[in-house]
Structure 1
Amino acid sequence: MDNVKATAYIRRYEGFSRLPYKCPTGHLTIGYGHNLEHGISASAALFILQEDLAHAERAVKDSFPWWWKLDDARQFVLVDMAFNMGLAGLKSFKKMLSAVEQGDYQTAAKEMLASKWAAQVGRRAVENARMMETGKWI
């Protein structure tokens, strides 16, 4: 089978939907007619993760002009928090963000751990706080 022709044909008739919808038979569908009840492959999930991570990184870069001054690990902590709880959730950490901007990473880490978010995500928050405080990847 010619995969290029087959893909073009199906794309033409299925159309693209970036948001889930119910197809005429009532199945939850996304993309080019992908039935979500069948799940997705690990490779598709990894691709989506990479897309979502890039989206979170762009949002953080655009929101905090001082982000560029941070080392790689601290940049990642902010991106991970935005990925996990959305940009609005990250922006709600006003004291933490102020401390990060001022280079007071110890206070930033303490603010992270003293949050409802930390209680919800547990080890992830502990590791993010450690990376924020030290500037080193875990």
Structure 2
Amino acid sequence: MSETTRRRRTKAVRLLLGVGAATVAATVLATTPALAGGTPPPPPPGKPTDPPDPGPCGPMKTMRDMDMREIKEMIARHESPNGLAGDPHVYRDSRGIPTVGIGFNLNRADAAAALAAVGANYADVLAGRADLTQLQTTLLFEQAMAEAYSAAYRLVPGFDNLSMSRQAVVLDMIFNLGPTGVAQFQNMLAAINRGDFEAAANEMASSAWKTQVGTRATHDIAIMRRGGVCDPKPLPVPPPPVSPDIPGIPVNPVRYPNDVTTIQPSSPPDTTGGGGGVGHMKCNFTRIEVYYENHWVGFLDIYCA
């Protein structure tokens, strides 16, 4: 190969190398935005975003308030494994107290008079020789509810300002402990009266009552803390016919087993912003209407003034 040919080939190789380097550089710049002056790629994903707060009832559930019917059903479930049906035959509760119906204490001082008022013989019921009818069980429970409301107004002056769910908690504790027992929860009552329901729930949770009662207390504490319930609203109860003594369509009827239904007057809607409203039972109403076996059988006088 001549010297001239060698020089020509060397020059051609150098030109090809120069074109290749330029092509590589252009490719790198084009495929690397940061080097080409473009927008850098996003950083690698970090910790995933926290899910939205599911609220006090958890996901897919909504908190709501209770109504009068649900309050009675809740207390009845806590008082008797048979709920609103109650226990027609006398039994001894966990403390050895003779009990009948929906948690009715046969050792209370006025037990004989209370049973006589509903047509039952105290001695026979206590001895197990006679059982209560569903109507008698219902009447005893409704009277006990009225008495619990009376005690609640004494213990919590602002009782009407509470949600009905929190009212249910106070009433349930009165059924469980009696007014005297609930009065011992001075810090809890003070917290309720000032509207500090978290503190009230904490007082309940730290008490010996919580340990002794168990599930019932846990349920009450959760409702006191939340101010409502998370369960779906139960299907409405068809109202009985219009009562001869209470005008209009009955509001919030409570359907007991064996065709016993009770209704009661509700306090008028509150116009002062202080609470109350339809469904709240007030002790200035003195009767509860009773519908049994397709006819009105009279009314229950409420002694809770």
Q: TM-score, with normalisation over the residues of structure 2?
A: 0.35
Corresponding letter in the other structure for 2:150: R
How many residues are treated as equivalent by the alignment?
Answer: 113
Q: Among 148, 157, 162, which residue is 1:65 paired with?
A: 157
1:94 counterpart = 2:186: yes
- In structure 2, distance between residues paired with 1:19 and 1:49: 13
- Native 8 Å contact 2:169 2:223 kept in 1: yes
Give 3-state SS (helix, strand or coil) of 1:20's partner: helix
Q: Secondary structure at the match of 2:223?
A: helix
1:55-109 deviation line (CA, Å, top 9, x unaligned): 1011111332111111111111111111211111111001111111121111111
Computed over aligned residues only, the root mean square deviation of the Cα atoms, in angstroms, reads: 2.0
Matched to 1:59, the amino acid is: A
Structure 1, 66-75 or 41-50: larger mean CA deviation: 41-50
Q: Which has the larger radius of gyration?
A: 2
Question: Given the superposition, is the C-alpha separation of residues 20 and 99 from structure 1 closer, same or farther in structure 2, using an over 3 Å criterion?
Answer: same
Give the residue type in structure 2 aligned to 1:99: A
The reply to whether residue 55 of structure 1 matches residue 154 of structure 2 is no
Q: How does 1:1-138 map to 2 (within 5 A)?
A: 19-20=111-112, 30-31=115-116, 32=119, 34=121, 35-36=124-125, 37=128, 38-137=130-229
- Mapped to 2, the partners of 1:117 and 1:93 lie a distance apart of 10
In structure 2, the CA distance between the partners of 1:33 and 1:59, relative to structure 1 (3 Å rule), is closer
Moved more, 105-114 or 30-39: 30-39
Residue-by-residue CA offset, 1:12-54 (whole Å, 9 max, x unaligned):
xxxxxx5439xxxxxxxx5156221212133322321121011
Q: Is the helix fraction higher in 1 or 2?
A: 1
Counterpart in the other structure of 2:89: none
Instruction: Give me the whole-angstrom Cα distance separating, in 1, the residues matched to 2:209 and 2:228.
Output: 22
Gaps of at least 5 residues in structure 1 are 1-17, 22-29
Contact in 1 for aligned 2:152/2:159 (Cα 8 Å): yes
AA aligned to 1:66 is G
CA distance in 2, matches of 1:39, 1:79: 27
CA contact (8 A) 2:120 2:132 kept: no
Tell me, what secondary structure is at the counterpart of 1:65?
coil
Which amino acid counterpart does residue 111 of structure 1 have in structure 2? Answer: E
